[in-house]
Structure formats: structure tokens, C-alpha cells
Chains A and B, each alone.
Chain A
């Protein structure tokens, strides 16, 4: 069985994330990048399946040179190989274009049984790429999965969306997982060493047969017109409870007309 785990390289939420002034795209150069935390759950889910049976795990990313770090992290965790789609033309791609490129890469990897993704990327956070991939590849998509079983050519999942559902789908399928599904492992020293020898393919758009004119900022189907930093929230009055903390709280609420 072949599993592809989608791993996105994103600006670290703990850093000061910002936008490029010139074109309003996410600043991926001046802010430290990491493997999107929510994709670690997808990698872990893939590794768990591989460990309990016979499966290989391919970590796939699309992004600038630095995005290779996301693949490396997945390899250190235990994925078998990596694939990195990198092309200058990709800068500023929207979700629709991203899904087209990732779909082409998945087809190039070939014979994929299961595609695991995070529930959302921690930068754009749209939660749409997996469903778009499903639409393009003609596959089932089960999103927001908090519990997953793969056996005998199908998946059975608990989906925690608007309500909790149990869903079944035959493989090949796409499953996006939540942070409820597992506890992602930290790479071990052994894992870090082993990762250095694992194969990583780098593909350009030409390698995938994707027309560079259909991706990137100029071809995006949405445009960001303005970006405004929200004023930092300022601290209001903080009181220490001396037996009257609840009463003081209600005084504040009453002053604001909530009571």
C-alpha cells in the first residue's frame, strides 16, 4: 500500500507572521518556517498505518526551497521518501491552483492508495485543498477525521464536523485528520540520521506537465486588495480577588450593559 502524506511548510505561528508589502502574499522568507503543526497528525497517522501493515509513506509538499524542511521533518519522523514541487512560477498560487499542482504530483507518484492531509494549514487555514484534490482526482474525501481505521481496501472513520459521523469509503481515498486523532512523535536521533539517506524527488511544473501560466499570483482567481494589521489588544483593568472579585466582575459587566 502506498500512502502520501501532504506536508505544508508554513510561517511559525509563534513568530511574528506578516505579509509581503508588494503583493500581499504570505511572507515566507523573513519569518521562520516549520512543518504545519496540523500536518504532523497526518504524518503520524500514515506512520501508524505503515507500522501495523505493509505500507510506504511518501511526504509531498509544494512550496519554495525552504519547504523542503517540511519534507525532511516528515522523513525524520519516519516517512520513507519525499517529493517537493518547487518552481518560481508557483509564488502566490491560490488554493485552486495548489490543488491542481498537488493532484498532478500525486498522479506522478502513482498507484497511491491513501492520501492523508491536515485539517487546515496553519497559515492560510482554509481547509479546502483536500476536498479540491478529491474533486480533481475523482476520489472520496473524508474530512475532519478524529479516528481512522484502514483495512481490507477501505477506510472507516469518525468524522467530527458539524455533528459526529461514521463514514466508510473504498480506497483510494483522501482523509484529512484533526488534532484529536493521535499524538505526533518527535523525531528520534536515529530517525534524524536515517532521514539523511532517504530519497527526495524535486519536481518543477514542467516535470508535472502543469502549465506555468495557470498558477502563481497572476493566475490566481482571488486577489487580496488590502491587508491591515489589527491593533494589538490592550490590557484593561485587572483586579485581584479579595473576596469581592465576582462582584467587581459583575460591576464591569453591568457597566458594559451585559447585565
Chain B
């Protein structure tokens, strides 16, 4: 069976859940081979093997850290040229998409972005037009390059002891033109990551700037916290938590929107959630039209009551 390259998404070797999802999807279509770029392989090895990587390509060089994505794309292209894989799966993160874009040009291959499913024959499923359509597509030229959104598969363990191959890295001058002079550390909130969470509780302009009721309900449910652009633009919540067209796309089991009217740009980021709940004091708010359950009321009383009730039930 041909290899399916999976680009590992990790923070200093801490493998993010998307990677185990991609390994699970890759197993349908071939032999998953993980590509680990940067430092921290010692911390990652066990997870990659547990989720079925039959091989791990490891490449580390300072350029991978010091410059934006172009060096990573170059290394991935080198590995792909050597491994001749049946496909390359890349996480649909901002970095992942840029790497995939450059790789498509380098390998002269078709690219599909934001897949939510990849079949054994490498047919993909995506959403189009803000979740209004479902599209099935295929790459017809070169090595299929597919970026896959978080939460697209349930990671299934398949214990292996992968062979490890160290890849020597040579990075061209062309790839070292965008220098990273400062990088913020990933903020640990103690809550699940927005795009990975099974439940998301989001607040909008209706919070009036006080997210404490949203956060308390999120914590009672073990959920991630999201925000509308109005709330982010007002400086009430960090941009990294914005849900929507220009923020994150989430597709959780349960999405709770509190004080969010439901503009199309917001819907674009949450429309494919399994169950949608809305709390808004305006019965005419468009969000109710897509809600499986809605409460017309003030979120500052409804959310705390719900939180208290959940805490009571948990005993």
C-alpha cells in the first residue's frame, strides 16, 4: 500500500488532536506516514505510533522556527518527492493551508482545502457557501493534497511501532524571506480548544462586555468559549476565539449562542454544528430560525440559572 503523508500539527512535540484525526483518516486510504517538522519528536513518538503511523519522517532545522511556513513547505516537498505518497493530508490551520498551497505549486498537484471527510478512494467532502452546500470533490492531477478541518474524524488508536527516518534539511534562500521576530506563546485557558471542543458556548454583543456568565456555563459543560466579531471588535474577548467567516469555523455537537443575533458571517462559522441553542432577548433575532432550542430572555439571568441547574444535577 502506498504511503499517505500526514503533516503533524504539534506544539514542541505535544501532538494536537487534529493529527490523530488525520492519521485515522489516512489509514482508510493507505499507510499513514507522519511528517514531524521541528523539535520535540521525543514527546510525540508514542502518540504517532498509537494512532497508526507506520513511519515517521523527522526533520528539524532552525529555519523551520525562524521563518514563516515556506521552509516547512520545502521540506515537505522534499519528503513527498522521495516517498511518492498517494496523498498528503495537512491540518486546515492557517499555517497548514499556506504550506499546502505552496506544496501544490511545487508538486504540480491539485489541492482541496477544508475537507471534513476523506474517503478510501480520496474523495473529499467539504462545505460550501457558509455551510449551505455539501460538495464532494477529487484531485485529478499529481499527488492529492488535502487540508482537513479539525473534528472531521474520531481518532481511533491502532498501535504500531513506526520506523523513524531522519530527513536532512536544506532550505533555500527563497524560503527564508519572511522572518519571525516574535511569537506569542500559545495561551492555555484550561478549556478545550475552540475548534476541537464537543461543546462551544459563545457570547456576543448582548453580553455587554461581561463574559463571566458565558464562561461559567462553558465550564459547567466542559465547553470552549467562542465570541462574535462584535464582541471581539469591542475588545471583550480575544480574536483567537472569534467564530465566523473571519474567525474559526466550529462544528461541535452543541453550539450555544448567547446575545448573538446570527449574522451570515457568524453563521458561516457555526452552521454545521449538530445542535444549536440560542439565548437572545430579541424574539426576532435571526439566530432563532436555526436554533434547535431557544430561550427569549436576558442572558445575564438565563445563563447563570442554567449553570446552577447543571451544577445541581451533577451533584
List the interface of chain A (C-beta within 8 A of B): 13-14, 17-19, 24, 38, 94-96, 99, 119, 122-123, 125-132, 134-136, 138-144, 146, 156, 159-170, 173, 178-180, 220-230, 233, 235-241, 244-250, 252-254, 256, 258-259
| Whole-angstrom CA separation of A159 from B135 in the bound complex | 31
Q: Say yes or no: A13-B264 contact (C-beta < 8 A), given A222-B111, A236-B292.
A: yes
Residue from the list B111, B290, B301, B308 in contact with A235, Cβ < 8 A: B290
Residue from the list A19, A119, A156, A259 in contact with B313, Cβ < 8 A: A259
Residue of chain A at shortest CB distance from B223 = A258
Residue of chain B at shortest CB distance from A142 = B178
List the interface of chain B (C-beta within 8 A of A): 68-70, 73, 93-95, 97-98, 100-102, 104-106, 109-114, 123, 127-142, 174, 177-186, 199, 221, 229, 239-240, 245-246, 253-254, 264-265, 268, 271-272, 275-277, 279, 283, 288-298, 301-310, 313-314
* Interface class of chain B by DSSP: mixed
Whether B109 lies near A259 (C-beta < 8 A) is no
| Whole-angstrom CA separation of A99 from B190 in the bound complex | 41
Q: Say yes or no: A222-B139 contact (C-beta < 8 A), given A126-B113, A246-B305.
A: yes
Compute the total of residue contacts between A and B using a CB distance below 8 Å: 261
- Which B residues touch A139, using CB under 8 A? 177
Whether A160 lies near B239 (C-beta < 8 A) is yes
- 9 residue pairs, one from A and one from B, having the closest CB atoms: A246-B305, A241-B297, A221-B110, A140-B177, A161-B94, A128-B101, A221-B141, A131-B101, A246-B306
- Which A residues touch B279, using CB under 8 A? 245, 249
Chain A nearest CB from B187 CB (Å) reads 8
Whether A238 lies near B294 (C-beta < 8 A) is yes
Q: Say yes or no: A132-B68 contact (C-beta < 8 A), given A163-B185, A250-B313.
A: no
Residue of chain A at shortest CB distance from B102 = A135
Chain B nearest CB from A239 CB (Å) reads 6
